[in-house]
Structure 1
Amino acid sequence: MMTLLDTLFGRFDQAAPRKGFLARVNAAMALRRSRARLAELDDHMLADIGLTSRDAEAEANRPIWDAPQTWKH
């Protein structure tokens, strides 16, 4: 499981180049904003993108450091 520090500073065992601290903070804040906006969508809009309100709520409640692996490189 990734911790907040792993996300912000990068793990030592990663082979991919590490992002700078500010880039990681900006990415984390963008993720937070995206999840908040997702939570604000109504059922009709969520249906357009194939999600339920339960899916959107679950995504919005995920911790900031719990991001898809592809976003961490």
Structure 2
Amino acid sequence: MTYITNSCATAPSRPTLIAGLTARLAVWKQRRALKALNDTALEDIGLTRREANLEAKRTFWDAPETWRC
């Protein structure tokens, strides 16, 4: 099982261009991984195929505020 951690406490107050691009790349990769999950895995995390596809279709710069530090 993979655990994802977020260390907002160590994030700089003004993100650099590299940090911003890295964050956007991470969002893109996570959405691709979500789309690739099978129905059993989606059920385990409480999502339907439709919800996963809707999230995967979002653009990489469109990350919810809760994902940001």
Given the two structures, how large is their TM-score scaled by the length of structure 1? 0.72
Stretches of structure 2 that go unaligned for 5 or more consecutive residues are: 1-12
| Aligned residue in 2 for 1:48 | 44
- TM superposition shift of 1:71: 2.9
CA RMSD of aligned residues (A): 1.0
Q: Which structure: larger Rg?
A: 1
The residue correspondences of 1:1-73 to structure 2 (distance < 5 A) are: 17-73=13-69
* C-alpha distance in structure 2 between counterparts of 1:31 and 1:45, whole Å: 19
Stretches of structure 1 that go unaligned for 5 or more consecutive residues are: 1-16
Given the two structures, how large is their TM-score scaled by the length of structure 2? 0.76
Structure 1 counterpart of 2:64, which letter? P
Q: Write the deviation string for residues 4-33 of structure 1: whole angstroms up to 9, x where unpaired.
A: xxxxxxxxxxxxx32000000000001100
Aligned length, in residue pairs:
57
- TM superposition shift of 1:64: 1.0
